[in-house]
Amino acid sequence: MKHKSAQVLLKVAFISCLIIGISWFSSGKEAHAVDETSVIIKVAAGEDISIIAADHDAVVRKTIPALGLFFVQSSHADALAQLAADARVTAVYEDTIIEGQPRFSGAVGQLLEAQPWEPGTNPRTAYRTQWALTNMRLTKAHTISQGQNITVAVLDTGVDLAHEQLQGKLVAGYDFVDDDPIPAESRDGLDQDGDISVDEGAGHGTHVAGIVALTAPQAKIMPIRIFDDEGRGLYSNLVAGIVYAVDQGADVINLSGSGPEDELFLAEAAAYAAAHDVVFIAAGGVNSLGYPASYQSVVSVGASDKLDYPTDFSDFPDILNNTVYAPGTSIISGYDDGSYAVWTGNSMATPFVAGTAALMLATGSCDAACAQSILVETSHPVVIDPGTMTAYGRIDAFDAVSAAAQQLHTDLSVMVLDGNSIQTDHLHLRPYFKIVNQGNTVPLHELTLRYWFTRDGISQQQVDCDFATVGCTNIFSNLGLVAGTAVSDTYLELTFSPNTGNLLGGHNSGNIQMRVHKTNWTAYNESNDYSFNGAAVFSQNPQITLYHNGNLVWGEEPTSSTLLAPPIDPAPAAVRVQYRAHDADPANNSIIPHFRLVNDSSSAIPLSQLRLRYWFTDEATAVSQAHCDYAAMGCDKITAVLGHNGSQHYLDLTFNAAAGQLAAHSISGDIQTRLNHTNWQPHLETDDYSFSAAASFTEWQNVTLYQNNVPIWGIEP
């Protein structure tokens, strides 16, 4: 905003350059002389704009009462300075050029022009089946919503009103370039912007509108022409278009364009849309967001490719927490004169986001603010630089629409490969897993996997993670015993750390290579194992079970009428667990359990064979962390990690070889531990399975102890 100051007077020289843009603005059925100056003003309350304009030999061309704006034109070159000096004028703005497309690749690369569809092929099929639909999982999103009863305003170069893609989808719009109610595409065959390309913006609006129609097939499209056939426009027409869209009932605004200047009247127009619960989606410019994309009330968009890499023109150093990416390379859509074209740009990515917002609003469970936050929260990370900017992602329409509809679609499966090269008599079990997610994105720590087998003997067993794409340190393994069937008496159970992150919809966990062996190195016979299928390549196996928050979502657990005799385990060691709550307050920000291990047997027990678990519920979304505050044997000999089994979380304590032995008829001494959230959010312990307010050490069966992964004390929840 330019107030009445010396700064305004200094900018009068800019008018001679602006006139070039005004010659475009003035084209159409209300043509004006090329030497006219366009100024945007506000006036003091009670003042008459017609009198002010007449006093300055100016004409009022547009009025936007909602924002108190008047667009005036004058034949005087110093009109800007004259109006700024008028006491009746409270604000003066210069009009600014806005680009209707990301015009270049990179900073100074090739002009991104449309490529006409090749003759002899079927563009309609290519349009409906192009890569972006799979990338964004649009087809699955359409099973929930298709954008019914939602209107998307497309502020652009106008549209081909007769194009087959848009038939039955258009509602009344407006042409702010020619100032008439027919927002059609237009070509004049002239290079008006002097870039050696002619009419390079023509067809842009039709292409953008066609992408909206593809993304939200039942939504209505309101075409509003604010750009000429060179893909250039003025802030004045943009602001007029925004207010028009809001006032005419649009639910979503799509602006595939970016301007260089932050002007107060443009920010006010964006705020006007937000105040009327309209989702505003705007393209970023060439490697800089520009405006209005930089406003927090606007969802800014960059283009990504098939591999989820940002394009070379959408690397935004000024990226914001409301920025998302969408497919924007080699996108097929309509073009002017009923044709089709392939185009690349942030302009193409933006209508995919606007169409997805329409799908979300059509669920009836999400308003504009909800849609904006969910678009960001459900996006999939884009690959920029390793370890940087991963918070900004490419939108996933299925995840976004599911979240907007308050639905969770679980579609998980397990694939397995036999790492033993199909040998069924081996010293190791080597199942390699991939968890495949075709449903909504889920946190990996909510999943539990079980591989069922027979132990073929009574020897103790050991589990190792040899490799995992998500990191072996993020995988917790456990061996469980079950009442024996003909095909299983044991299962290998895998759970995941909260640090593992999400299993994205449409993706898999990557390879998880596990190994199980007996401590006496006797062989397994896998031919009678329930989950064994000897697959040489990854393939689905419904005899491996997967659980989401404790509910079976894949596979069938083994059952048989022919029971094996229960396995004969070595006599469990007579070890008891004593527990006390150092802090008996069940609602502060820490859990502080203390333990002692009591060996009643006549034999010493290696502490490295023992595993202790304290069970609790974790109501918070923040990550928890575990600490050993003191141990008689030394905290450096204890490993404390956090795991979970469905909804039950646990503190898992193990001991390394340096811990030595728990002598016969002895007590380990105090083991003092502590849990807290990383953001110090309170833990509510009243519903924790292992919590007791006991202030002194007491035997407590709700803490469990295992020797060589076999339960020897306590009862699991």
Burial of 406 (0-12, 13-18, 19+ CB in 10 A): exposed
Q: Token digits for 667?
A: 């007590």
CA-to-CA distance for 675 and 589, rounded, in angstroms?
9
Could you write out the DSSP letters of every residue in 283-313? E--SSS--BTTTSTTEEEEEEE-TTSPBPTT
Cα 372 from Cα 132, distance rounded (Å): 21
Distance in angstroms (rounded) separating the CA atoms of residues 571 and 574: 9
Backbone angles phi, psi at 536, to 5 degrees: -85, -15
Contact 699, 468 (CB under 8 A): no
Contact 125, 132 (CB under 8 A): no
Active site residue 204: yes
Q: For residues 355 and 395, give the distance between their C-alpha atoms in angstroms, rounded to a whole number.
A: 11
Q: Is 347 a catalytic residue?
A: yes
Q: What is the CA radius of gyration of the chain?
A: 33
Q: Which of 142, 163, 204, 517 is catalytic?
A: 204
What DSSP letter does each residue of 38-68 carry, written as one string? EEEEEE-TT--HHHHHHHTTEEEEEEEGGGT
d(CA 161, CA 252): 20
**Amino acid letter, 9:** L
Catalytic residue among 156, 160, 178, 251: 156
Tokens of 500: 């593992």
Please pick, among 38, 186, 297, 347, the residue that the annotation labels catalytic: 347
Query: Rounded distance, CA 480 to CA 452, Å?
Result: 9
Identify which of 425, 438, 470 has the alpha carbon closest to the alpha carbon of residue 540: 438
Q: Is 446 helix (H, G, I), strand (E, B) or coil?
A: helix
Q: Is 644 labeled as catalytic in the residue annotation? A: no
Give 3-state DSSP helix, strand, coil % of the chain, rounded to 5: 20, 35, 45
Distance in angstroms (rounded) separating the CA atoms of residues 38 and 660: 86
In b/e form, how buried is each residue of 596-624, taking b as 16+ CB within 10 angstroms? bbbbeeeeebebbbbbbbbbbbbeeeeeb
Comparing CA positions, the residue from 637, 626, 574 lying closest to residue 601 is 574
DSSP 248-280: TT-SEEEE--BBS---HHHHHHHHHHHHTT-EE
Residue 397 sits at the vertex; the CA angle it makes with 393 and 402, to the nearest 5 degrees, is: 115
Q: How far apart are the first and last CA of the chain?
A: 65
Question: Rounded to 5 degrees, what angle do the CA atoms 333, 336, 342 make?
Answer: 30
- Positions annotated as catalytic residues are 156, 204, 347
